Amino acid sequence: MRVTVTGATGTIGRALVGELVARGDEVTALSRNPARAGLGVETLEWSEPKGEPPPAEALRGRDAVVHLLGETIAQRWSGEAKREIRDSRVLPTRNLVTALGDLPEAERPRTLVSQSASGWYGPRGDEPLGEDEPAGSDWLAGVVRDWEAEARKAPGRVVLTRTGVVLSPRGGALEKMLPFFKLGIGGPVAGGNQYLPWVHLDDVVGAVVFLLDMEQGGPVNVTAPEPATNKEFSRTLGRVLRRPAFAPVPALAVKTLYGEMATIVTTGQRAVPRRLQELGYEFRRPGLEAALRTVV
């Protein structure tokens, strides 16, 4: 398969490129700075994803595109940061879809796998959330809704990977948590009953590759089979690190530290990967403790 990957230098992108190459696929990466990408595959320049379409030669004749661009959400949400989080998702997706539509049908990739997020659902308590649930009403859900709306305009098969909180050796929400847990001052936040739709990096990559080979389109929750409550996650992380993790952390303390971004921790979604399981995907890291041990 010939696959083009945007966001290829990010945590998910690098792991995905490595897996695609290992299984024999021909990979083209898009990067703002190809000379510094260091991916070991053909890398073409897309210098202004928010302002212009990608080069047609990066898309022409490919079988699929995996679109992973987006500013990290795990940061303090200032007004400027919120604009960048939204624009870095919506505008490049719009430009990519425009470029796909401009190609002759015979030269156009038949599949677009576009990264999305479990933030689509908004804060929903302990309700199990499959892919048919409507979008939430908070700011992040609005961003995801607009992001998906741009991707859905692409010709051909469109898969929207609503990815949960990714556990990886670097970056993301876990990186923000680890310093406190390593000091033995981590613990359940805001009561700890809210669900965390976690997923190991290996399963994000595994799911994307699996979905490239499928024929189905639409949204797919890329989350572990058993979402954990914040309390379960905290205690498991403490056990893995051999540190106490029982001291309750008031929601106000997290909000003071991270601002509005703290809502990701103080609220949550019990997103479940119904479609992946129906399609027969076999999770590589289904258990929380084993998954955490591979990343810390």
- The contacts found for 275-282 with CB under 8 angstroms, 24 or more apart, are 275/130, 275/131, 275/216, 275/218, 275/219, 275/220, 275/221, 276/207, 276/210, 276/220, 276/221, 276/222, 277/225, 279/210, 279/214, 279/216, 281/206, 281/207, 281/210
d(CA 6, CA 27): 11
Residue 30 confidence (pLDDT): 97
d(CA 116, CA 105): 26
pTM: 0.95
Instruction: Say how many domains are in the chain.
Output: 1
Does pLDDT of 66 surpass 80? yes
Query: Which one is predicted more confidently, 255 or 165?
Result: 165
Count of residues for the chain?
Answer: 296
Does pLDDT of 37 surpass 80? yes
Tell me the pLDDT of the chain averaged across its residues: 94
d(CA 134, CA 232): 27
Query: Among residues of the chain, what percentage have pLDDT more than 70?
Result: 100
Q: Which domain holds residue 134?
A: 2-295
* Residue 175's pLDDT band (cuts 50, 70, 90): confident
* Residue 174's pLDDT band (cuts 50, 70, 90): confident
DSSP 266: H
CATH of the domain at 80: 3.40.50.720
Ramachandran angles phi, psi of 77, nearest 5°? -90, 80
Angle, alpha carbons 151-66-123 (nearest 5°): 55
pLDDT in tens, 119-143: 999 998 899 999 999 999 999 999 9
CB atoms within 10 A of CB 26: 14
